[in-house]
Structure 1
């Protein structure tokens, strides 16, 4: 199965938890049906990306990276690359590469969708990342390291997150906590 086929199957079968998430799910599926290259960075102006929010073993802390280009705190994620065969695999790979962690307890079911405009992604102009977000739990006492794509990687207490964190990230954090420990 190709990455495109996997992404289409995953998003077609995913049960969105809210009407807003369902609208995004439908948008992503329509994009993939219309764009055979819709998972790849060269698909302009929209393409799928995948990411992972990492929580600690207690789900009381989240691991975020200060993105080098955006200069804002985000979960880990990025573009699909040659050799990627599943959307979950993209998200898992990106989380390991960008966090410096050796392993993660990765949940392969999408947790959240987010469409966002990115001005610095493509020289042709603004693109929209159709981001599919997953959740993973880090091993106890996991020590991250900063990759070349980040200015910093840091654990943040859920009750003291960095200022300016997007509302969608707060939603994803709540979903991650509910999935990993059964609590908001």
Structure 2
């Protein structure tokens, strides 16, 4: 339950919103199962927005199942000590940047989304974090993606999920304030 308690404490630190409160209710009601892929059709995932040092570019992957450009992320695994650790691990695996590190363990984004098509889950309660990497760093494509590429934050590709632009704006604002 420590992972659940830590997650609830991190959520409590966020400014109260209906969305934050819904996350708290979901995690409280589901307990440990909320953090396991096999814990039910809906569960928490961790994601990571990777931004350039001047926060004018974002590194995205073209998700093989989702068929869209999106930040890196995925399920919490047994070896992850926190959702932030899961987000960092997923970003490392999916970008090929082995030493990628979160600039903070502060939550910068909450996005619950229903899944369709090739997904075995019904919904993800995604919790987003942010990391910074140089656009010159060597990147690679994982099995879950078809491509990994840098984009200007103000000129994203057309095939991003609905609402992605506003989520990215929050991540950029958070990165800018966290790096001061």
Q: CA deviation at 1:105?
A: 4.2
Instruction: Report which stretch shifted further, 50-59 or 3-12.
Output: 3-12
Equivalent residues of 1:3, 1:84 under 8 A apart: no
Equivalent residues of 1:46, 1:129 under 8 A apart: yes
Q: CA deviation at 1:167?
A: 4.3
Superposed, which structure 2 residues align to 1:173-184 within 5 Å? Answer: 173-182=168-177
TM-score (ref. length: structure 1): 0.87
Equivalent residues of 1:105, 1:139 under 8 A apart: no
Distance 1:38 1:15 in 2: 22
Whether 2:83 is the aligned partner of 1:113: answer: no
Distance 1:61 1:82 in 2: 32
Distance 1:140 1:105 in 2: 15
Show the counterpart of 2:131.
136
Show the counterpart of 2:37.
41
Superposed, which structure 2 residues align to 1:33-182 within 5 Å? Answer: 33-36=28-31, 37-106=33-102, 107-119=104-116, 120-122=118-120, 127-139=122-134, 141-182=136-177
CA RMSD of aligned residues (A): 1.7
Equivalent residues of 1:51, 1:133 under 8 A apart: yes
Distance 2:169 2:39 in 1: 31
Figure out how many residues of one structure are paired with residues of the other and give that number: 174
Q: CA 1:66/1:140 → structure 2, altered by over 3 Å: closer, same or farther?
A: closer
Which SS does the other structure have where 2:172 is aligned?
helix
Misfit runs of 4+, over 4 Å: none
Q: CA deviation at 1:160?
A: 1.9
Q: Deviations over 1:111-135 (max 9, x none)?
A: 010011112332xxx5110000111
Distance 2:61 2:135 in 1: 19
What residue ranges of structure 1 are gaps of 5+ in the alignment? 17-21
Which SS does the other structure have where 1:85 is aligned?
coil
Superposed, which structure 2 residues align to 1:24-39 within 5 Å? Answer: 24-36=19-31, 37-39=33-35
